[in-house]
Each structure stands twice: as C-alpha cells, then as structure tokens.
Amino acid sequence: MKVTILGSGGWGTALALLLHHNQHTVSLWSHDPEKAKQLELTRENTLLKGVRIPEGICITSDLSCLTDSEMAVFATPSFALRETARKAAPYLAPDAILVSVTKGIERGTHLRMSQIVCGETGGTHPVAVLSGPSHAEEVARALPTGCVAAAQEQGIAETVQRVFMNEVFRVYTHDDMVGVELSGALKNVIALCCGMGDGCGCGDNARALLMTRALTELSRLVEKLGGRRDTLAGLAGVGDLIVTCTSMHSRNHRAGILIGQGKSAEEAMREVGAVVEGYYAAQSAQELSRELHVEMPICDAVYSILLRGTPVKEAVHGLMNRLPRKESDSSWVS
C-alpha cells in the first residue's frame, strides 16, 4: 500500500520506519522544506538519535505525494492538525483512508482530532485513529508495542490493523473512537500532574493515587461525551496512562517534573524542546469540565498550576483535602 505520513516529528518518523518495515511505500511529509532537506541529507531525526531512516522512505515537503496514497496518516502536533488537514484535502485520493495519530482536544472548539480531519477533508473519507502506549523512541527501535485502531466501521479498523501490525507491533481493533481519542489526549494532563508530584517529592504512593483517581474522572468525561467507560480499561486508556505517567520518554511527564521542581510552565516546555500536548489538553479539559458539569479535580489542579501559577504544593494540599467519599462513588469500573 502507498502511505503518506503528514508530520515528520518523532512519532511520524517512527511510524514511517514501521510501515516501511511492513513493505509499504512510504512518504514522510514535513511542513517545512528546510527540515525536509535536512532530514533527507542526514537520514536521522534528532528526536530518534542513532536510528537511520532508510533511503526507501521518500522525505518530502510536497503534498502531491498524497494523490496516489491509499492511506494518509496525520502525525502533527494537535495545534497544527487543522491547518495540515486543510492543506492536504485537495490532494487526497478519493478513496484514501485517513488515520489520526495526533493526541489532543482542539482548544476553543473541543473537537477530537478525527473530527477535525473529517471536517477539513469534506467528510467523505473513512477516518480512523491509532492510539495506545507507544513511545516513538521504542517503536523506532522495534521494541514490542501494542496499540488500538479505532473506527466507526469495523472493516476500516481492520485495514488499519493489517497495515500497521507486525511481529513487534500488535494492533487491536476498537469501535469507541470517542473513548480512545479522549483518553489519549487527557492522559497527557495526568502525566504532567504525576511529573509535578514526582518533581516536588510526593513519592510513588501519590503517583499511584493520581493515576487511579484520574481514571475515575476521565471516565466521567468520556461517558458524558458519548464514549464508553470500558475503553478506559484498555490500551488507549490505562495502558497509555501507565506508560505516559511513569516513563522518562514522556515529555509531558518530564515537563511536569521540571514544574514540580519550581520552573514555570513556559520554562519547562522550552527545556523539554518538543510539543507538550498536556499543556493544551489541560485547558480543553478545564473548559469541558465547567461546561458539562463534570467533576475533574485532577485536571482542574493541573490547569490551575499551569495557567494560574498556583504552587504545586498548594494544589496537592487542595486535592488531598477534598471531602471524604466512598471509592465506589462514580468509580471507573462500575
């Protein structure tokens, strides 16, 4: 199959390597012609040091590579997805399958990434999402990984499964796009929070407390927006939460640690040097929680630290001193 990957960051590049390994004809598109030239020259993405990009992968900044692609994979940061989908739309082959691997919720509109792709490309293409615990650094080195491919039509999810799956990359199909996308976006907020706790010395108990209670509040929002609670129990939910909240590959977790150690959100993001999606998702989560009257204390605390400058220790105190309650009250496993 001919596949174009839109976005040549860490994740786009890792997926290009995976699909090339799976014998597909791959183009890796960068929005920046200078960056495309540089990648072409070095055949190495600085975010994936030591991993060579094979000559067989076409690196380009020309969207005409889409015209005969049977699949287009959107792998930009969330802030650039709408613009990228809009630019790509006129070049798409009429029956191309569109796959979003971007994790986020658009600020202002609160749309999921697949909704943006669908809206900007005329709504005539099948749209799927691929999500799960999958650090680019490990996928690029062919370490064992598992994800889900979610689509409204089972046949489309199965096509995505077939295209991406290999002996080290397992793909399970899923039918809850809402749950898969929201948990993928919101776990970044929780990873920031776990990092903040780690950075200010809260300890392992606190990390487990945050991750577990986060599942409860994320499931409330997922359900309110039409997704399913049980999705949170799978790879796109708890799986991605575990990897993002505990791994040093996670830039959200790393940014959180820096903030917990006393840096401002801006300083932390500069130091991490790559997109920190949780920063943007925290704002959307806070707005959604207000508008839909869904209680999300952990996301609220992160928002307040990032955007109101609340000291981390004060936010921890606030979370620990909420009213007593039964754990089973709106538990995510009910």
Ligand X SMILES: NC(=O)c1ccc[n+]([C@@H]2O[C@H](COP(=O)([O-])OP(=O)(O)OC[C@H]3O[C@@H](n4cnc5c(N)ncnc54)[C@H](O)[C@@H]3O)[C@@H](O)[C@H]2O)c1
Active site residues: 187
Out of 2, 35, 141, 263, the residue judged to bind ligand X by CB under 6 A: 35
Out of 3, 4, 5, 7, the residue judged to bind ligand X by CB under 6 A: 7
Three-state secondary structure of 91-130: HCCCCCEEEECCCCECCCCCCEHHHHHHHHCCCCCCEEEE
Nearer to ligand X, 58 or 274 (CB): 274
Out of 3, 4, 5, 10, the residue judged to bind ligand X by CB under 6 A: 10
Which residues from 303-322 bind ligand X, rule CB under 6 A? none
Residue 229 Cβ vs ligand X, minimum distance, rounded to whole Å: 23
d(CA 309, CA 323): 24
d(CA 74, CA 11): 10
At residue 86, what are phi and psi to the nearest 5 degrees? -65, -45
Nearer to ligand X, 134 or 286 (CB): 134
Residue 102 Cβ vs ligand X, minimum distance, rounded to whole Å: 4
d(CA 148, CA 326): 32
Residues in the chain: 334
Which residues from 128-167 bind ligand X, rule CB under 6 A? 134-136
Residue pointed to by tokens 């990897």: 243
Nearer to ligand X, 189 or 301 (CB): 189
Using only C-alpha atoms, the chain has a radius of gyration, in whole angstroms, of: 19
> Which residue's CB comes closest to ligand X?
9
- Told to check if 174 binds ligand X by CB under 6 A, we report no
CB 250 within 8 A of CB 193: no
Applying CB under 6 A, which residues contact ligand X? Answer: 7-12, 30-32, 35, 47, 75-78, 80, 83-84, 101-104, 134-136, 274-275, 277
